[in-house]
Structure 1
Amino acid sequence: MNPPRSPDMTDSPTYSFPTSRCVSDDNLGFLIKQVYHSLTRVLDRETAPLGLTARQWRPIIMLASGKANTPAELARLNDIDTGAMTRTLDRLEAKGLIRRTRSQEDRRVVNIELTELGHEKAAGIPPCIARSLNHHLRGFSKDEATQLQHMLLRMLANGSDGKPLGL
Structure 2
Amino acid sequence: MDTDAEVITYERRARVARLINRGQSKLVLALDRDLEPFGVTAAQYAILSTLWGGRGDTAAQLCKEISYSPGAMTRMLDRLEQKLLIRRLPHPDSRRSHKLELSEEGRQLFPELLATSAAIINRFLGDFDSADLSRFEALLERMLARE
- Give the alignment's TM-score, normalised by structure 1: 0.75
- The 2-side partners of 1:51 and 1:161 are apart by 34
Q: How far did residue 121 of structure 1 move? A: 1.9
Q: State how far apart, in whole Å, the 2-side matches of 1:104 and 1:77 are.
A: 21
Matched, 1:127 2:115: yes
- Percent identical: 30
Residue number in structure 1 paired with 2:48: 60
Partner Cα separation in structure 1 for residue 11 and residue 34 of structure 2 = 38
Q: In 2, Cα distance between the equivalents of 1:53 and 1:153?
A: 25
The separation in 1 between residues aligned to 2:86 and 2:57, in whole angstroms, is 11
Structure 2 stretches of 5 or more lacking a match? Answer: 1-7
Name the Cα RMSD after superposition.
Answer: 2.0
For structure 1, list consecutive stretches of 5 or more residues without a partner in the other structure: 1-16
| Residue in structure 2 matching 1:18, options 3, 6, 9 | 9
- The structural deviation recorded for 1:18 is 0.9
Match of 1:94 among 82, 90, 105: 82
Tell me by how many angstroms 1:120 deviates. Answer: 1.4
Alignment partner for residue 39 of structure 1, among 27, 30, 40? Answer: 27
RCO comparison, higher one (Cα < 8 Å, 6+): 1
3-state SS, counterpart of residue 109 of structure 1 = strand
Structure 1: which amino acid aligns with 2:130? T
Q: Which residue of 2 aligns with 1:145?
A: 129
Aligned counterpart, 2:142: 158
Q: Does residue 79 of structure 1 match 2:67?
A: yes
Distance 1:63 1:51, change over 3 A: same
